A and B are shown apart, each in its own frame.
Chain A
């Protein structure tokens, strides 16, 4: 990560309090435990809950047309590595870290290609606008673009991002705020 801001902020009226990453929800802990024991339905539940997080993290680093494949690979890796996770409450940070590493590996493997993806600039103006904004978003520093993608593309709120990625509320809030400032400037410059 370029900059992962960890300044505690007064996010919930607890100024000065030592911030720790919010723990994964109890139902997720139970699902992690069950998935570790081989319960596929529990793993499906984890897939639904953390799929957007993994998708957003990968989308921040990998060409969009390759994101789905990388996400699938990550969940296969999660299934294999799940027994090595000691503390189920740390699942969010664990899977986020795994997704980041996997996305970086993928980016290293794939050589730079100057071809545009197939669906770029399709006839739909909405799609074109979405891809344009995403391209601008991807020019931001890594920490900001990841958080903003989770917020706007995956539709998670700040507290949800903090919980599922294992970041503090303050970090997420700062990344959202500063990232949004930079994105606003880029969009104004671009038009």
Chain B
């Protein structure tokens, strides 16, 4: 009963499991300083000393909007079809309307490239744009305080609409960040094709048919031969359990091939549901085809997951080299 009291109020005698859960899971909690609050548009009182930065960013936005309007008014890129003003563009707070002058233009220039160089918000880059200024910026992720210049975006994100700092994406996208990996340089060029690694022979679960050699639904009625209730797919916990035993060997690849600590090697695994075995492991760019990538892929190919109903699933696992 005292354990229940601890569960309820955090006081009294702690069940070891409860204390362990608190300690373990506490690291995943909210770490919230109100980073957005200082950037929110004020709806009531006048500006205080802490809001100057926000005010200047509004000034910059106002200048950008004014420049866009001028650009549109003067003919812009020359294509009347794309010059349709967007509904979201004129939404500028009053403080910016009165300050969209030369000084504000400098601020806007520093904060974002919507005034000079890149195309204005929501407008396709025209033929008069400086080479390389428009499309390159259009695909780049928005940075701090920078107006979004992606041309085809229908509506800004809520955080951008509210004048908030865009947060850095917590998950880098491999397709747009080829240089995002830190640490050792790859031994071969990034364009080298990834070589799939044949999985090592591993022991299938007792009583399970070797479905890697005998594929087919009839031969591998996953779970039915033992009456086992299988999950439809693997969950995160299953992935952790399956990959855990082979991680030390994968980490040794980093030391063996001189990878700097923090280097991330992404490996795509194809896991077969009927056997839970890895049937294909491929290191992804920039480590595809490199000795390091092949070594890590080979190590992860030995993972044994629990079986599941779905024929097969793909798992992309980014292995970060330990210090």
Interface residues of B in 217-251 (CB under 8 A from A): 233, 235-237, 239-241, 243-244, 247, 251
Beta-carbon contact of B240 and A158 below 8 Å: no
Q: Assess whether A59 is interfacial by the CB under 8 Å rule.
A: yes
Query: Which of B71-79, B89-97, B116-124, B308-316 interfaces with chain A?
Result: B308-316
Majority secondary structure, A binding face: helix
The verdict on A158 contacting B27 (CB below 8 Å), with A79-B162, A114-B313, A118-B171 known, is: no
Beta-carbon contact of B45 and A38 below 8 Å: yes
CB contact between A40 and one of B9, B22, B37, B321 (< 8 Å): that residue: B37
Neighbouring A residues of B4 by C-beta, 8 Å: 177
Beta-carbon contact of A132 and B170 below 8 Å: no
CB contact between B34 and one of A39, A47, A139 (< 8 Å): that residue: A47
CB contact between A43 and one of B7, B37, B233, B237 (< 8 Å): that residue: B37
CB contact between B7 and one of A11, A40, A155, A158 (< 8 Å): that residue: A158
Beta-carbon contact of A116 and B239 below 8 Å: yes
A-B pair number, CB within 8 angstroms: 172
Majority secondary structure, B binding face: mixed
Beta-carbon contact of B32 and A47 below 8 Å: yes
Beta-carbon contact of B237 and A40 below 8 Å: no
Neighbouring B residues of A52 by C-beta, 8 Å: 29-30, 32
Binding site for B on A (CB under 8 A): 11, 37-40, 43-44, 47-48, 51-52, 54-56, 59, 64-66, 68-69, 71-73, 75-77, 79-80, 114-118, 120-123, 126-139, 149, 151-155, 157-159, 173, 176-177, 180, 184, 187, 190
Binding site for A on B (CB under 8 A): 4, 7-10, 17-18, 21-22, 24-30, 32-34, 36-38, 40, 42-45, 51, 157-159, 161-162, 164, 167, 170-172, 233, 235-237, 239-241, 243-244, 247, 251, 264, 313-323
